[in-house]
Amino acid sequence: MTSSSSVDNKPAIETRRISPPNIGEAYLGERILCYRPMKHGSPNLSVVQEGGKVIAHNYGHGGSGWTLGPGSAKYVNSLLINSDFGAELSNKSTPIAIIGAGLIGLFTAYDLINRGFSNITIYAEQLKTLPSHYAGGLLAPVSMDNDHAMQAIIDEIGIEAYRFYDGIANNQNADFKKGARKVPSYFSSRDDSGLEPYVGKVMGPAKDVILDFGNGTTRAMVVYDDGVFMNTALLMEELHTFMKRHHIEIIQQKIHSFNELNQRFIFNCSGLGSRELANDPALVPVQGHLIMLKNQIPENMNYMILVYFGEGKTEMDQKVERSFYLFPKHLPDSSPQDIGVMGGTFIEGGSPDKPNLKEFDTIVQGAKTFFGLS
C-alpha cells in the first residue's frame, strides 16, 4: 500500500505501508553466532610466487563476501591468468588447488570451470555451518575496511557481482534456478547503503520514502527498488550441485602450509584460516549475531532493511557496532512460514570464548524500537 503527498511544490514523498515481522518469543528461532573474515586495508586480491608455488589470494571481505563473491572470484582469476604465470595455464588441464569451500572458494571454482579448467581440487577444513551458509543475503558492501586507493576496484567487483545475481533473479543463468531475487532494500541514507557507485551502471537511483508500519510509527528512509536478496544457504546448495555435476573433488582437510599441496597453482580462499596460512596479522574476525525467524506470513516479508545504531560496549567490554537488519532468508527443507533473519552486530576481534550473548536481546529490542512495537 502506497501514497504520496507534496508540500509547497516540493517533490512528493511516497508513503509505503509495510508489515513488521512477528518478533515475540514464539516467533524467534535459532540464534546464530558467525565470524566474518575482515582484512584491514581491503581484501587481499593478489597473485604472488612463494618458492615453487603460485598463490592467488582472495580473502578478507568482511561482511561483504556474498556482495563481492562472484566479482571477486572473476577478478582474482583474471589476475592470475593475465599475470606472468598465465602462459603455464594455457593447458586447461593444469592441476589447480583451491583452499576453502565457502562462497569465495566455490565461486572461484565456478568461474574457472566456466573458463574451461577441469583439473580442480578443493580443500576445506569445514564444509557445513560456514559463515557463507548463515550470512543474511543483502547485496550491499558492509563491514569492510578499504583503503581509498582500492575503493574503485571494490566498486567494480561489486557491480560485476550485481550483474551475476541479476542474471539469476531474471532466470538468465542456467546453473542457478533459485537463490537470488529483486527485493526493495531500505536504508537510513544513501551513504549508509554503499550502493551509490552502482547507480546508473546496474541500479536505478534511490527514492526517498516514508515507511508506515500501521501502528502509528513511521520512518523516513531511502529505498533501492532493484535491490538484490541472495538466499545464501540455497546458493551454497546450488554451488555444491554444480561442483558435483562437473566432478570437482572436495577434500575435507585443514591445510597448514601451501607446501602441503602438490599443485603449483593454488587459490587461497581460506577466509579466517589465512591468518595462519598466509601469516596475515591484518586479518581479523568480526563477530556477528543473527536470529532466524519462524511462523511468519511469507507475503509480508518481501523487503529488506538495514539501519545503523552506532557504537557501544558488549558485556565482555568489547567495542560493538550495532545495526538492525531484516532479510527474507529461508533455509532449505524448512517450512515456508519459517522465513526471515534479524541481526546484527559487528564486533572486531570477537571470538567463541567471548560470545557476547546479550547482543541477541539487544537485536530484539532494536527491532521493537525501530518498528514501534511494545
3-46 tens-digit pLDDT: 555 545 667 899 999 999 999 999 999 999 999 999 998 999 99
**pLDDT at res. 374:** 76
Q: What residue segments make up the domains of the chain, in order of their start?
A: 2-371
Nearest to 158 by CA among 95, 96, 211, 227: 227
- β-bridge mates for residue 33, sequence order: 289
**pLDDT at res. 9:** 60
| Residue 168, CA distances (Å) to 115, 153, 202, 236, 288 in order | 19, 23, 14, 14, 27
Phi, psi angle pair for 207, to nearest 5°: -115, 145
Q: Which residues of the chain have pLDDT under 50?
A: 7
Collapse the DSSP code of 70 into the 3-class scheme (helix H, G, I; strand E, B; otherwise coil) and give the result: helix
Residue ranges with strand state E in the chain: 2-5, 13-17, 28-39, 44-50, 53-59, 96-99, 120-124, 180-182, 185-187, 207-212, 218-224, 228-230, 249-252, 265-268, 283-293, 304-313, 319-330, 339-348
**pLDDT at res. 251:** 97
Q: What is the pTM of this model?
A: 0.94
- Report the chain's C-alpha Rg in angstroms: 21
% the chain with pLDDT above 70: 97
In whole angstroms, what is the distance from residue 123 CA to residue 105 CA?
9
**pLDDT at res. 131:** 83
The type of residue at 287 is Q
